[in-house]
Amino acid sequence: MERLIWEAREALNGCEVVVALSGGMDSSLVLHVVAKAVSKDKVRAVTLDYGIYTYDISKISAKMVAEDAGVRHFFIEAKEAFEKVHKRGQACNRCVRTKLAIIREHFPGCIIVTGANLTDSWSRIGVKRFKDIYAPLLNLSKSEIKSFAEELGVRYYRIGEGVSREGCKVKHLWKPLVAPEYHGMAVCLANDILLSFLRQNSFNFKFANVKVVGPLSKNIALINVSPLLPDSLKEKLREELLSVREIDEVYFLEGKYLLKVKANPSIYLVESSKRDLEQGKFKKEVACDIEVEWLLSGNKRLRTFHVVDAVKEVQ
């Protein structure tokens, strides 16, 4: 821990600093490290507010973390920019670049500190400081980050949607965000309802989320909970989700599913890109076995991927 603080002090000496604070474990630890490394009057924390796409508990957590660290905290409205990024298919890397651009615009001349670590694509760059970006956790695993956070007594609220990364509802929308009032509303309401339902029924879970797939004209909700829900809760939850007008069908991810995925040629023609999506998204933190059937998309507007159907395979 002392080395982490020392490195941050060396990297940020004399700089104005803004920490990108989501309210999760990684960015919360980073803020505490930076607050110990440099004078707090040179540090600000900023949280981008994506409106309905941001979990309320994330904003509450971010505010608490900033108060604990004794650092000034700002929220920036970014809902429209967020919707634009994902309109042509889920685009996490582009989203990160957009987020950094927004922070630069509001805090020009500052060093932006992020919680990027070994689990992020940023780690491929291989250096903690790159231009105006500093990632002090770059070489750390999740278990190491958790250990350091506990050592510093960092408080934050866990959402429960995932194990490795939390905070974004759109990562569960496995189709383009073409119509925010339909596609966006479906994934946001579904995930809020699920987490509230599980807590109201005192169901302990490792992760819980709702994937939304299907053609653009139909929202199919796939309930993804580990451990699996008992039958006594399934029908109640199904009825609650079907009461949402933006949700057309509801299924539980159990057993084995085949995902039919249309992809942009830049993904479809590159085996490593398809493999990364399969392992890093479709098969990661999913409560059932997943197989993927790749289809070349003829939609020139699609930049990434679109799960057009999910078929449960008979055992």
Q: Tell me whether residue 47 is in a domain.
A: yes
Q: Is residue 147 part of a domain?
A: yes
Measured CA to CA, the distance from residue 45 to residue 69 in angstroms comes to 10
Residue 196 has pLDDT above 50, yes or no: yes
Residues 53, 25 share a domain:
yes
d(CA 19, CA 112): 6
Residue 163 — very low, low, confident or very high, per pLDDT cuts 50/70/90? confident
- pLDDT of the residue at 91: 93
The proportion of the chain whose per-residue pLDDT surpasses 90, expressed as a percent, equals 90
Same domain flag for 140 and 189: no
pLDDT single digits (tens) 245-271: 999 999 999 999 999 999 999 999 999
Q: SS3 breakdown of the chain: % helix, strand, coil, rounded to 5?
A: 45, 20, 35
Region 88-117 average pLDDT: 95
- Residue 179 belongs to domain with CATH number: 3.30.300.10
160 domain-assigned: no
By the 8 A CB rule, do 166 and 159 touch? yes
pLDDT tens sequence across 10-41 = 999 999 999 999 999 999 999 999 999 999 99
Q: Are residues 138 and 242 in the same domain?
A: no
Nearest by Cα to 28 from 160, 167, 161: 167
Mean pLDDT of the region 53-74 = 98
Residue 11 CA to residue 38 CA, distance in Å, equals 10
Predicted TM-score (pTM) of this structure: 0.93
- For residue 117, what pLDDT is reported? 82
Tally of CA atoms within 13 A in the half-sphere of 139 that contains its CB? 7
Lowest mean pLDDT, pick from 53-62, 74-83, 85-94, 161-170 = 161-170
Q: How far is CA 116 from CA 124, 140, 243, in A?
A: 11, 9, 38
Provide the pLDDT for residue 211.
99
* Count of structural domains within the chain: 2
* 63 in the same domain as 143: yes
Task: Give dist(CA 122, CA 71) in Å, integer.
Answer: 26
Looking at the structure, tell me whether residues 209 and 144 fall in a common domain: no
Higher pLDDT residue, 290 or 117? 290
Tokens of 208: 């819980």
| Rounded CA separation 19/35 (Å) | 10
Q: What is the pLDDT of residue 131?
A: 84
Q: Which CATH number belongs to the domain containing residue 104 in this structure?
A: 3.40.50.620
User: If you search the block for the tokens 């291989």, which residue do you land on?
Assistant: 126
pLDDT in tens, 104-153: 999 999 999 999 886 665 445 555 767 899 999 998 998 999 999 999 99
What percentage of residues in the chain have a pLDDT greater than 70?
Answer: 96
Q: Which residues span the domain enclosing 220?
A: 169-312
pLDDT at 123: 43
Query: What mean pLDDT, rounded, does the chain reach?
Result: 94
Instruction: Take residue 313 and report the two structure tokens written for it.
Output: 């395979």
CA distance 222 to 241: 11
203 shares a domain with 296: yes
Start-to-end CA span in the chain (Å): 50
Q: How many residues does the chain have?
A: 315
Query: Is 256 among the domain residues?
Result: yes
Q: 120 and 196 in one domain?
A: no
161 in a structural domain: no
